[in-house]
């Protein structure tokens, strides 16, 4: 089972609130994610930002007119969001809840027009937990509602553990390095650094959502070949905006290539909830 206390401790000590603003890779990730949200979210309605941390996406979506419920496992991140809401207003951010993504009992059936799942699937190491999470997302979505879920693909995540070994071998030994290539599960040997990682293939993610009642619209890499080139791209945006936009266009053009999806960091599944009840799905 996933050790959720370790996950909470990780985010207690990690500056998740400013992750997307303090580095080139974070800035590019934020820009690409916002573009995807603008394209695929419904034009209005109520959104559950599940695993939304301190509200990096919840606040701008609320500013766009969506009613947003922010939910996260970390009490510390939710407290940060509440403080920002108190300081800025953000009336459309209608709730900030401490929630485990595998248990959404505090929400009603069909309550949301869309659910963002931009984080929980990074950490749910057991298949039963992932199924429970996605089934709960299905339940709280309206028929025909949209889910946008991020994941760390198998090859990206597994190879990153080798890099992690070179950066800090206290987190990685022979057993968990070999284990992540065998099972996709990463159990950190140290109490610091990324905790309780799970790295599925894109086919596995497709099957997970299909079995829980979703129809796939697309799976794409978030940054595509921009992964590893973020600093150069952010610099180019200032020096040559026209070329920057050309490259962003090519990033989007290649983002659904399977080789790109599996090897270029975070990827995104976008799907819709079947209109029939879950028990009626064949």
**Digit-coded pLDDT (tens) for 136-146:** 999 999 999 99
* Pair 217, 179: CB distance under 8 Å: no
Indicate whether this model's pTM tops 0.85: yes
* Residue 185 scores a pLDDT above 50: yes
- Residue 152, classed as helix, strand or coil, is coil
Give me the mean pLDDT over the 94-100 stretch.
98
What CATH class does 4-153+200-225+255-274 carry? alpha beta
pLDDT band at 50 (very low <50, low <70, confident <90, very high): very high
At residue 20, the pLDDT reads 85
pLDDT band at 281 (very low <50, low <70, confident <90, very high): very low
At residue 27, the pLDDT reads 93
Domain ranges of the chain: 4-153+200-225+255-274
Give 76's contacts (C-beta < 8 A, 6+ positions apart).
8, 11, 12
């Amino acid at each position: 089972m996933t050790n959720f206390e370790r996950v909470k401790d990780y985010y207690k000590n990690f500056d998740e609130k400013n992750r997307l603003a303090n580095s080139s890779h974070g800035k590019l990730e934020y820009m690409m994610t916002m573009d995807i949200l603008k394209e695929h979210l419904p034009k209005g309605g109520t959104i559950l930002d599940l695993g939304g941390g301190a509200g990096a996406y919840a606040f701008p979506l609320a500013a766009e007119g969506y009613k947003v419920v922010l939910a996260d496992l970390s009490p510390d991140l939710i407290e940060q969001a509440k403080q920002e809401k108190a300081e800025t207003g953000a009336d459309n951010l209608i709730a900030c809840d401490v929630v485990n993504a595998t248990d959404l009992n505090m929400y009603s059936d069909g309550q949301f027009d869309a659910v963002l799942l931009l984080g929980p699937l990074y950490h749910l190491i057991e298949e039963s937990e992932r199924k429970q999470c996605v089934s709960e997302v299905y339940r709280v979505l309206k028929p025909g509602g949209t889910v946008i879920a991020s994941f760390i693909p198998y090859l990206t995540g597994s190879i990153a553990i080798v890099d992690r070994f070179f950066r800090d071998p206290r987190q990685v030994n022979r057993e968990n390095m070999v284990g992540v290539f065998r099972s996709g599960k990463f159990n950190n040997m140290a109490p610091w650094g990324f905790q309780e990682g799970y790295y599925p293939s894109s086919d596995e993610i497709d099957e997970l959502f299909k079995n829980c009642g979703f129809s796939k619209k697309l799976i794409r890499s978030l940054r595509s070949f921009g992964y590893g080139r973020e600093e150069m791209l952010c610099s180019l945006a200032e020096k040559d905006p026209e070329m920057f936009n050309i490259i962003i266009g090519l990033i989007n053009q290649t983002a659904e290539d399977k080789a790109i999806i599996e090897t270029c960091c975070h990827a995104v599944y976008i799907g819709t909830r079947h209109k029939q009840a879950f028990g009626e799905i064949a």
